[in-house]
Structure 1
Amino acid sequence: MYLSNGSGYHLIDSNKYEIKPPCIFFMSPGQAHKLELSKDIEGYIFIFNAEFYLLNQKNKNRLLEFPFFYSIEQTNPPVYLEKDEDNQYLKSLFKRCADTVLLNDNTSGDEIARSTLDLILLTCSDLYPADRKVVQKGKGHILVKNFLQLVEEHFYRNLRINDYAEMLAVTPNHLTQMVKQVMGKTSVEILQRKTVVEVKRLLIHTDLSIAEISDRSSSPRRLSFSSANRSWQ
């Protein structure tokens, strides 16, 4: 989401970020968000799925190599465009995508939008906050990001670490070692953390009662709200 004018706040899961245009926000599938916008807000929103972006990509982990998708830190700080040249360039790319989608309902239009999206992501990756840039392309790092993606997709199935390891074609021990090495937490702790994040999402972004939310997180991963928040806040 590129914003060129206006003000407000962007709540992503339980993290609140100030909107200070020009800026760009990124979200991964499964995340919940809420916008508090001024009336003079202007910008573009580009919604796409992995299949669209990866259609002609040989590297199927390419999206995971960007620092802003399935963040290891589990946060989504925006890119604040401090240089006018960066802002104008990215604004032109978003406008090109919007014009292409509106004017071309064909394969060539999709290709133009896909190529332009790649330029947007590559440019934003270079501009992303330096303290958020870690080595993104190591095998261990990509494995952990794939694990986080699967946890997001299959959370309500209450899968075990063995199930996730099988999906990733690694041993449970190797998965746990890589998660510990990259994130400083065990695989089981990540699943527990995911439960807390999901509870917070539902509390903040839905009208469900605590009892209804508890029913969604069935045994064996049901946690009490008090103990979960003490462990992960």
Structure 2
Amino acid sequence: MSAIPVKSKIDRDQLLKISPFKEVIKPTVPHKHADYFELILLEQGGGYHVIDDQRYEVLPPTVYFMKPGQTHCWDFSRIPKGYVILFREELLTRECLDVAYNLPVNITLNDVETLPGLTRQFCDDYRAGASPAILKAYLQLIVLKTGEEARTQSAEGRFTPLYYQFRSLVNEHFHQVRKIQAYANMLHIPAAQLNLICKSASGKTPSMLLNERIVLEAKTLLSNTDLSIKEITDVLDFSDPSNFVKFFKLYTSFTPKQYREMAIARLH
């Protein structure tokens, strides 16, 4: 079981929710959202937003986009104003999903009118009880417009549906499932085909992407919890601490203890 709390701000049978961002200065604890996307548009505010162990200064107007399973927390110094859109992937077309999985987590808005204005109207119509078809169209347009803003900031190539399905499966099962063949079986394709799909989309093999997700989770636990190395070893389902330490050092050049000390030092 993960030590990072999982919070849900949307009902399990709910596909979409949009609301104004809470206008309060109150630090939040690191947490995850398991099975939905979160798009946050801030028009005002200041401070920091930590996402997956990366610290981003809040410099409005800006968009933060988080995929299912990412860890984040806020530390505001000025009152934030903006909107939060929570949604499930069922509402997106294939083209919009392609854009969503290609978005960076932080997008600075060059056009300070179009996306904020569209999001504001989206919220107004949502509150007024607009039809699902209209709300779905709003959401897809906002995702596409966000993608336009982010196009120059995104380093990865175009994704295919099978690629983002693989990334989604990894995000859900990486604690227990470490065999690429198992993921290929879930996708009903040969492992060799999965390898080609991943290398074409990202330049990385499926194993590299899986290991990156494990390392990211390890970094998050080291930075945001007081769990011991032994406890993190158990959470990540390594056979023993020595194997976990070797794995972590291979991909980061640091031991878990060294990384935790650096993470603590960054906060002071």
TM-score, length basis structure 1: 0.79
Post-superposition offset of 1:32: 0.4
Count of aligned positions: 213
Deviations for 1:27-66, whole angstroms, at most 9, x for unmatched residues? 1000001112123221111111113x14xx4xxx334311
8 A Cα contact 1:195 1:217, kept in partner? yes
Q: CA RMSD in A?
A: 2.6
Would the aligned equivalents of 1:79 and 1:128 in 2 still touch at CA under 8 Å? Answer: yes
Within the candidate set 90, 103, 109, 1:81 is matched to 109
Question: Which amino acid is 1:81 matched to?
Answer: L
Q: Is the partner of 1:20 in helix, strand or coil?
A: coil
Q: Which amino acid in structure 1 is aligned with residue 95 of structure 2?
A: R
Match in the other structure for 1:92: 117
Q: Which runs of 5+ in 1 are unaligned?
A: none
Following TM superposition, the consecutive aligned residue runs of length 4 or more in structure 1 with deviations greater than 4 angstroms are 219-223
Give 1:149's match in structure 2, choosing from 130, 152, 168: 168
- Taking structure 1 as reference, are residues 158 and 133 closer, same or farther at Cα in structure 2, changes over 3 Å only? closer
Q: What code does the residue aligned with 2:108 have?
A: Y
Q: Distance in 2 between matches of 1:114 and 1:12?
A: 27
> Percent identical across equivalent pairs?
31
The separation in 1 between residues aligned to 2:115 and 2:176, in whole angstroms, is 39
Pairing 1:48–2:87 present: yes
> Which residue in 2 is equivalent to 1:216?
235
Corresponding residue for 2:67? 28
**Match of 2:82, SS?**
strand
CA deviation profile, 1:54-81 (whole Å, cap 9, x unmatched): 4xx4xxx334311x5266xxxx342211
**Measured at CA, do residues 98 and 221 of structure 1 come closer, stay the same or move farther in structure 2, by a change above 3 Å?**
farther
1:207 Cα deviation after fit? 4.1
Contact 1:97/1:112, CA 8 A, preserved across alignment: no
2:46, 2:76 within 8 Å by CA — same for their partners in 1? yes
Q: CA deviation at 1:169?
A: 2.1
2:43 is aligned to 4
> C-alpha distance in 2, partners of 1:64/1:228?
31
| Higher strand proportion | 2
Deviation at 1:142, TM superposition (A): 3.8
| Compared CA separation, residues 203 and 134, structure 1 to 2 (3 A) | closer
TM-score computed with the length of structure 2 as normaliser? 0.70
Rounded to whole Å, the distance in 2 between the matches of 1:168 and 1:18 is: 38
The reply to whether residue 62 of structure 1 matches residue 87 of structure 2 is no
Contact 2:51 2:73 in 1 (8 A): yes
| 1:183-232 per-position Cα deviation (integer Å, ceiling 9, x unaligned) | 33332232222211111122233443332221112246984235414424
Please tell me the residue identity of whatever aligns with 1:110. Answer: P
* Contact 2:102–2:158 (CA under 8 A) maintained in structure 1: no
The Cα shift of 1:21 comes to 0.5
Instruction: Specify the alignment match of 2:152 in structure 1.
Output: 130
